[in-house]
Chains A and B, each alone.
Chain A
Amino acid sequence: MAASREYRHTEPRWLRATLTLIAVGFVGLLIVLPVIAVFTEALRKGLSFYVQSITDPLALSALRLTLLTALATLAANLVFAVAASWLIAKFSFPGKSLLLTLIDLPFAVSPVIAGLIFILLFGARGWFGAPLARQGIQIVFATPGIILATIFVTFPFIARELIPLMQQQGTEEEEAAILLGAGAWQTFRRVTLPNIRWALVYGIVLANARAMGEFGAVSVVSGHIRGRTNTLPLHVEILYNEYNFAAAFAVASLLALLAVVTLVAKAALEWRIRVEQRPAEAAQEA
């Protein structure tokens, strides 16, 4: 239907040219140029300095912490998002819209405030800080705090992908499965999960991008202890503040590369989802 529709120009030439120029100008100035700048600055002192910067023990420890944080965050968000989406999409219960609003809360709250919340809760003078400290558990200014803050910030990403899809798919397939004798777990594993798998991976990719790049919330709870509580974005900031620009950009380029990998994965997934949905739509029209 859409494929056969011919594209027709209805706007005058000057308007089209202006709009195109604005769009290209913005993308070039705000996205392409900075990316180029990152890589040129990173390589300003030569390739060997670049390699040295990113293999520096402090940089490597920051990379390790970033990957660990991303992994832990995704695992936690995955479990939460699937459970919450399943609940919201397939059942109706009192407080459902409140839950939906709460899931969106991290989108609305500044990451810095998110960080401060955890200081308030788990800091030395926080609600749970002292009792936990007596047990020898440190949350804030340690890895657990960084992971908690990142979970908070990336909370909505996966759930927001799943909820609309699951709502659209409805509950009939699950009902059919149960009527055919499947138990709850079998129904989830054989029917619900396969139906959402690509949206799930898509949500994970988005959440991962955010988790690896998160600065504000993590900056507040990390304490910036080099080699222990520095993530890649924090490490970049420290290097930059020490006027070590080439090294800062070298490490930043590492983050940029991680982002590129994420984007490629996202594009591949979008293509995959489109391919899967196409025959279904075509058959529905028939």
Chain B
Amino acid sequence: MAIDARHVSKSFAHYDALKDVSLRVEQGELVALLGPSGSGKTTLLRIIAGLDAPDDNPETAVFVDGEDISRKPVSERRVGFVFQHYALFRHMTVFENIAFGLRVRPRKLRPADSVIRSRVNELLELIQLGRWAAHYPSQLSGGQRQRVALARALAIEPSILLLDEPFGALDARVRQDLRRWLRNLHAKIHITSVLVTHDQEEALEVADRIVIMNQGRIEQIGTPDDVFHHPASEFVVTFLGNVNLFHGRVESGRTVIGEVAVGQRHESSVSDGKSARVFVRPHELEIERQQLNGTSVPSRVVRIQSAGPVVRVELTSDRGEAITVELTHDRYRDLSLRTGEEVFVKVRDARVFVADEIVGDYTI
């Protein structure tokens, strides 16, 4: 069921956590709210769940499946919620944790004991923890606990599923496995889901669409491809992975870094002399042995890190800027680089911002 949050603001005593945010999540979609801590992503999630109340405003509303649930009590919203720290009931077994949502229903709506049992067993099967039914949460690993928390949330057949940093407390390996598992689960049950995370890799891997938040506002909404390759703001570029920043200026309609011109003429009219900020990801740079007609920046190799899927080369440009380049192992072998060598760094792709306004998105 679609979620439609409109004009949501939330201010605390000392800061505004959310500033007039509107967000629509389509039926069956898995959307990630991505942002640094304090960006308002968890606040937005908790407001959708009803755990926090938005600031009073006649325009504010949260629709789920076309119905405004802002005034509905939390216990009647049928929202599946997964907490970062699991929030399992510590004095109940795994089985009773999952059964909880069914057992607390009013007598008339409560399924028979046998129905509850088979429903819980189904979910235990789904999370592959059938053998752990009689154990207590404290006897499970973090990954297992989070799977129980998810099964517990799904037991009430929620209309939407909200996940607050669900893998944040787990170590890297388990996190990877659970991510894939969640992706598969979502493909199977297609429940409208919102996942909060500060881990850009997680968001890029799991989500259908990503909502990038910063300081209580939405910076950009788009598919993982969109936000990664066509960032709408400097914040989005810097937040999504490592990026090199070159300080340039606008000269006769083009962006120039030092003596090197980047890309074509700007389409919009940007006045000359303005300073430009050029963002280039490490894999969008190339290292050359020779300078070809002034399109590359002279630099010196400072450090080479070749253990990993790609080779990371750190350099310093002739203007003193730190540059990181990622090469394939093949290319690295061809170049046979040594630390201390003088080489030339060529920009292949770049995003140019003048006063936080994107003016160029180039492939050169």
Contacts and interface: CB of A to CB of B under 8 A. Distances in A.
Interface of A: 172-173, 175-183, 186, 190-191, 194-195, 279-280, 282-283, 286
A223 B197 CA distance: 67
B293 to A, nearest CB: 60
B13 to A, nearest CB: 11
B363 interface: no
Nearest to B101: A180
A173 B91 CA distance: 11
Nearest to B149: A176
B83 A283 contact: no
Interface of B: 49-51, 74-81, 83, 85, 87-91, 100-101, 104-105, 136, 138-141, 149, 152-153, 155-156
Given A176-B87, A195-B90, A181 B81 contact: no
Contacts of B76: 181
A175 B51 contact: yes
Closest 9 CB pairs of A and B: A180-B101, A172-B87, A280-B138, A182-B104, A176-B87, A194-B91, A279-B138, A179-B81, A283-B138
Nearest to B109: A181
Given A175-B81, A195-B91, 11 more contacts: A176-B81, A177-B100, A179-B50, A179-B51, A179-B77, A179-B81, A179-B153, A180-B104, A279-B139, A282-B138, A283-B138
A181 B78 contact: yes
Contacts of B91: 194-195
23 contacts: A176-B83, A176-B149, A177-B100, A178-B74, A179-B49, A179-B50, A179-B75, A179-B77, A179-B80, A179-B153, A180-B153, A180-B156, A181-B76, A182-B100, A182-B104, A190-B89, A190-B104, A194-B91, A279-B138, A279-B139, A280-B90, A282-B138, A283-B138
Q: Which of A183, A279, A283 has the most CB of B within 10 A?
A: A283
A286 B105 CA distance: 35
A73 B79 CA distance: 43
Nearest to A197: B91
A194 B89 CA distance: 10
A64 B101 CA distance: 47
A183 B106 CA distance: 10
A199 to B, nearest CB: 13
Contact of B74 (A179, A190, A195, A286): A179
A175 to B, nearest CB: 6
B100 A279 contact: no
Contact of B104 (A172, A177, A282): A177
Contacts of A183: 75, 104
Contact of A173 (B80, B90, B141, B153): B90
A181 B102 CA distance: 8
A191 B96 CA distance: 12
Contacts of A282: 138
B27 to A, nearest CB: 21
A191 B140 contact: no
B170 to A, nearest CB: 12
A25 B136 CA distance: 46
Q: Which of B77, B79, B81, B88 has the most CB of A within 10 A?
A: B81
Given A176-B81, A177-B104, A179-B81, A279 B136 contact: yes
Contact of B89 (A177, A181, A279, A283): A177
A89 to B, nearest CB: 16
B75 A178 contact: yes
A172 B75 CA distance: 14
Contact of B100 (A175, A180, A286): A180
Contacts of A279: 136, 138-139
